[in-house]
Copies of this chain bind each other. A is one copy, B any other.
Amino acid sequence: MSSTFGRVFRVTTFGESHCRAVGAVLDGCPARLPLTAADIQPQLDRRRPGQSGIATQRREADSVTILSGTEDGLTLGSPIGLYVANRDQKPEDYADMVAIPRPSHADYTTLMKYGVKASSGGGRSSARETIGRVAAGAVAEKLLRTWHGVEIVAWVGSVGDIDAPAVDTQTLTRDEVDRDIVRCPDAAAAARMVAAVETARDRGDSIGGIVHCVCRNVPAGWGEPVFDKLEACLAQAMLSLPATKGFEIGSGFAGARMHGSVHNDPFCLKGDRLGTVTNHSGGVQGGISNGEPILMRVAFKPPATIALPQATVDCDGRPVTLEARGRHDPCVVPRAVPIVEAMAALVLADMAVRQRRMMAETA
């Protein structure tokens, strides 16, 4: 039940860390959208392991195949099947971990839930599950760009205690974000972030970070007034990503410290539409977009897999010292950037399709 996301523009993902393939079925995508694998591969490449010295050194091509739903480069309105083969690497890395639940991993809770877990890797909690999301998110982005010129850009705003200075969210591009391997558009902060990741990695440790995201050109009227508020669906989307611990829209937790006279966003005229002078709302009021940029932040904890020895207990409660092997990311936020963009796109595309209907109705 938990593998489907969205109400009308719906993605269902499948695949574990070491099965034959991971992928997604995307149902509810409108017909006649131009779409080929070339629209999808770039975001998979940005998500791919092994892309830089601060990411895991596992190497996977993660090449996508479209199985269904398009013909002659156009969508048919039918479900789009997407598929990325797994390279099988099961045996060596995980063999002796079965009896010792890794701290802050999903091993223990998966076992408590299902009475069984994949013998290796993270099963459905694996980061490889996000491949289906990124592939489907790329289709969502294509739809959003084609229909409305929506632009979605995420970037690394913090690594550990290192915060990047504010960026110009009106103009920031993915090229600017990708100039540095840590995906922070501020060169000086990026350099310090890379050093912090490298230090953590070299110590056998890991480090957390914060991903920021802006969605521009979202028209007013997307999102629904009660349970499917735009910010509520974005919050679910982001907290459904592995390793996330927090979500903010607009002023976020800082907004809780403010007075209304400061926090309120007065209206003003922006060309032929109403806009707001400030944007503490983060582009959303009452759960519905107001035409201003949507601004959010997502907190990622430090990865749970570390090389440093950990004093814990095994499944029977006996004290053990766990030392992880294998190749893992010391910090997930650089690779999380395209994943956050994908989840934002999936939420917005669903709302776009739902609102198209409303506009037709009320017209």
Contact = CB atoms under 8 A, between A and B. Distances in A.
B257 A161 contact: yes
Given A20-B66, A21-B81, A306 B261 contact: yes
Interface in A335-363: 353-362
B250 A245 contact: yes
Given A116-B31, A236-B236, A21 B68 contact: yes
Interface string A1-37: 1111101101011111001111101011011100000
A228 B2 CA distance: 5
Contact of A255 (B109, B116, B239, B245): B245
B12 A25 contact: yes
A358 B101 contact: no
A212 to B, nearest CB: 12
A280 interface: yes
A224 interface: yes
A76 interface: yes
Contacts of A224: 1-2
Interface residues of A, number: 155
A198 B259 CA distance: 12
Interface string A246-281: 111111110111111101111111000010100011
B280 A114 contact: no
Chain B CB count within 10 A is highest, among A23, A205, A222, A235, for A235
B245 A239 contact: no
Contacts of A4: 4, 10, 12, 27, 227
A43 interface: no
Nearest to A80: B14
A1 B28 contact: yes
A136 to B, nearest CB: 12
- Copies of the polypeptide in the assembly: 4
A300 B256 contact: yes
Nearest to A317: B269
A240 B227 CA distance: 5
B256 A209 contact: yes
A59 interface: no
Of all A-B residue pairs in the complex, the 5 with the closest CB atoms, nearest first, are A106-B286, A2-B224, A357-B357, A206-B260, A109-B288
26 contacts: A1-B228, A2-B224, A12-B25, A15-B81, A20-B68, A21-B67, A31-B115, A67-B83, A71-B118, A76-B123, A77-B358, A103-B265, A103-B267, A104-B281, A106-B285, A116-B362, A207-B260, A208-B256, A246-B256, A253-B253, A253-B299, A255-B299, A259-B302, A260-B301, A357-B357, A357-B360
Given A21-B67, A77-B116, 9 more contacts: A1-B7, A3-B27, A25-B25, A109-B284, A110-B225, A208-B257, A232-B236, A239-B247, A260-B302
